[in-house]
Structure 1
Amino acid sequence: MHPDLSPRHASCLLFDWDGTLVDSQYANYRAMAAVLSSEGVDLEQAWFDARTGLSSAEMIRTLVDERSLRLSRPVEDLVADRDRMFLEEAHTVRPHQEVLQVVEAMRGRVPMAVASGGARHVIEATLRHQPFHSHFDALVTRDDVDRGKPAPDIFLHAAELLGAHPSRCTVYEDSDEGVEAAHAAGMTVIDVRPYTRLRFRSGT
């Protein structure tokens, strides 16, 4: 485990899903871009990458507001198609090794939960293919709360399920919205981006 990723004295660990536990960024982008292309929308990956802390529905609504788009189908239908496309590739998604090392090292030592802005059925389907599929004590998703990130609801609900005070929780995140949500929840947050992207900078 990289020393900067050590949770130190945390009573519980909360892990974001996409981009933190798993390297699903490009698969998620391809699915979203394909769905929006059917609406005549060209989704740039840079725009998508800057908003990965949002749920799919919130991302589409943000895009609609920013570009004054008129969609031919409800947002919920677009999200369902996006999820279906992504799940066709769920078996190809791999864990971020740097974060996997944390999960493996802390398994059985403190309670751990996945706390994600994604959809429950998508995460559960993808989780089955992961080496850490049985390591977590709880799964909290955007489906379980009223507000998604950057609101703190997902993290607060996860801490409640684990019986831990928010101030004793450490969150692992990879998005600005997730970091903001962790701070709003009064939790310690570790931004994994400098560590999960090291291999890309080194060309490995």
Structure 2
Amino acid sequence: MKPLHYDTIIFDLDGVVTDTAKVHAMAWKALFDDYLQTRTLQFNEAFRVFDIEEDYASYLDGKPRYDGVRSFLGSRGIALADGDPTNGPERETVCGLGNRKDRIFSKVLRDNGVKVFDSTVRLVRELEKMKIWRAVASSSKNCRSVLQIAGLENLFDTIVDGVLSADLKLRGKPDPDIFLKCVELLGTTPERTVVVEDAISGVQAGRNGGFGLVIGIDRAGLGEQLQKNGADVVVTDLIRVSHHTIDSWFDMKNKISRSIPHSSTLHTL
């Protein structure tokens, strides 16, 4: 039986469909540890390593590449010229550092391939049989290549990635632009759309876009923060989640909203 409350699910890529969030985090660490050590030698600045748990989650996860560079450098009191996307990875600009990170990330993908979360793929295939629209929305400009390497590109009805976002000048998360673009392309509405995210900026975007249900995936011990920032329900994995489960969460959210105005948070599973 087709779900009554929703007709579309939008999945983030890294950390939700593919196990590439860790690859991104390690690539950022390699980039910034090297860059910060260089600044220590040049300017005698105190060296403090890039902390994956704190720095990646707070300043980079889910954001467009260059926005992430600006955000992290700003947290360390460092200001660089933006440059432009054509800057080579050797340039000491925001774009240059972002492109250097991309080179590191791409090499890891070529060397190691892409791991997927089988539980997510199972759910996507189930939704396909139910004729529920399936989309991927990602800030990554590598989104399509990652899906192609993983053999998953044909499972989704539409993909909004960092390349399209740049072309259309869509704002990055926590703005909901990329999710709203998916809705527009599929001809549905935010109210009948589910967003599945593992990043704080991603659940914020889901909340800011007025989406019917926002599911947070807690793979890094951030469940409480995901809930506080917009997730209606938080799970550690999608292994026990089905289209029936999601439909029941819609029911539960609606009951909570009616009994406690302006509240829609469910619980952590």
Tell me the TM-score normalised to structure 1 length.
0.84
- Over 3 Å counting, the alpha-carbon distance change for 1:78 and 1:197 in structure 2 is farther
Structure number with greater Rg is 2
For residues 52-201 of structure 1, the aligned pairs below 5 Å read 52-71=61-80, 73-90=92-109, 91-108=112-129, 109-119=131-141, 122-143=142-163, 144=165, 145-187=169-211, 188-193=213-218, 194-196=235-237
Deviates more, 1:161-170 or 1:67-76: 67-76
Aligned length: 190
| Runs of 4+ residues over 6 Å off in structure 1 | none
Task: Give the Cα separation in 2 of the matches to 1:197 and 1:26.
Answer: 18
1:39-83 CA distance string (max 9 Å, x none): 125311112134412222222111111111255711111111211
Partner-residue secondary structure (3-state), 1:134: helix
Taking a change above 3 Å as real, the CA distance of residues 126 and 8 of structure 1, as seen in their structure-2 partners, is farther
Query: What is aligned with 2:34?
Result: 38
Cα distance, 1:8 vs. partner? 6.5
Contact 1:87 1:125 in 2 (8 A): no
Inter-CA distance 192–162: structure 2 relative to 1 (3 Å threshold):
same
Higher RCO (C-alpha under 8 Å, 6+ residues apart): 1
Preserved contact between residue 144 and residue 161 of structure 2 (Cα < 8 Å) = no
CA distance in 2, matches of 1:35, 1:159: 35
Q: Give 1:131 shift.
A: 3.9
Secondary structure of the structure 2 residue equivalent to 1:189: strand
Q: What TM-score does the superposition give when structure 2 sets the normalisation length? A: 0.65
Q: Which moved more, 1:66-75 or 1:154-163?
A: 66-75
Structure 2 gaps, min length 5: 38-48, 81-90, 219-234, 240-269
Which digits, 9 at most, give the CA deviation of each residue in 1:88-124, with x for residues without a partner? 22253211122222111111512211111222xx111
Percent identity over the alignment?
Answer: 27
